[in-house]
Amino acid sequence: MLDDFFTRALLAGIGLALVAGPLGCFIVWRRMAYFGDTMAHSALLGVALAFLLEINLTLAVFLVAAAVSVLLLLLQRRQQLSTDALLGILSHSTLAIGLVMVAFMTWLRFDLMGFLFGDILAVTTTDIALIWGGGALILALLARLWRPLLAGTVSPDIAEAEGLRPGLSRVVFMLLLASVIAIAMKLVGVLLITSLLIIPAATARRLSATPEQMAVIASVLGSVAVAGGLFGSLHYDTPSGPSIVVAALVLFLVSIAVPAWRRNRPQPGVD
């Protein structure tokens, strides 16, 4: 029999993987990996503000990640710097400000490693309810936005001409991504969130024929990575969060062996 804490971790991880899979597909299609990393790094600033202002941790992380998304959009309109330069500035700046703020809060006992790398084994039933409830809402919104998001990924101009409002869809997608990062931080940590979003989606891209199929496969692969990582962590006594990412990496490496005719099927954003 599995211990209760392990069962809770398994349920929480699978719930997160089911949501991260489809969102990760759009990150891969739109070549937004560095953007996801920037939002994940900003999560630590949200943690610092949550302790400083004594507000809910998940809410603070979501608000900071959402603010970073809006700030990026505003800076992009000025067109004075390239997007990758802006992302680099925002990513390292928010991470550094968060660390400096934590250093000034000398009265606070702060488990920095826990927030950087997560502690999925410490999730509670309340966390599970938040993950599955919030995840269901995120997936419902993503399903509603699927067509305009997909059209905007293929061609923003055509999507605009068809009245699909790709700009608005992009903003909502960023807010959904901020929500997932806020939920996932406690499970896999600030530094590993992007890996859980990207690696299963990148693996699924090699194994799928349609965008919808890729989203489903990404969710399944993420769930398998969570289960494999947790059982590997239990057996080898390794950190749970990094073990999940390693399991996802193993699945990606295995997918490379899939015959080329399976990998070359068209997907949005293919070079």
Q: Per CATH, is 4-191 categorized as 2.40.50.100?
A: no
**Domain residues of the chain, as ranges?**
4-191
Please state the pTM of the whole predicted model: 0.88
SS3 state at 210: coil
**Torsion sign across C-alpha atoms 246, 121, 3, 239:** positive
| pLDDT one digit per residue (tens) for the chain, 271 residues | 578 889 999 999 999 999 999 999 999 998 888 887 788 788 889 988 998 898 988 899 999 989 998 888 888 777 777 777 888 888 889 989 988 998 888 877 767 777 778 888 888 999 899 999 999 999 999 999 998 999 888 888 888 888 778 888 888 898 999 899 888 887 778 777 888 899 999 999 988 989 999 999 999 999 999 999 999 999 999 988 889 999 999 999 999 886 644 545 556 664 4
Separation in Å, CA 224 to CA 11, 90, 102: 12, 33, 35
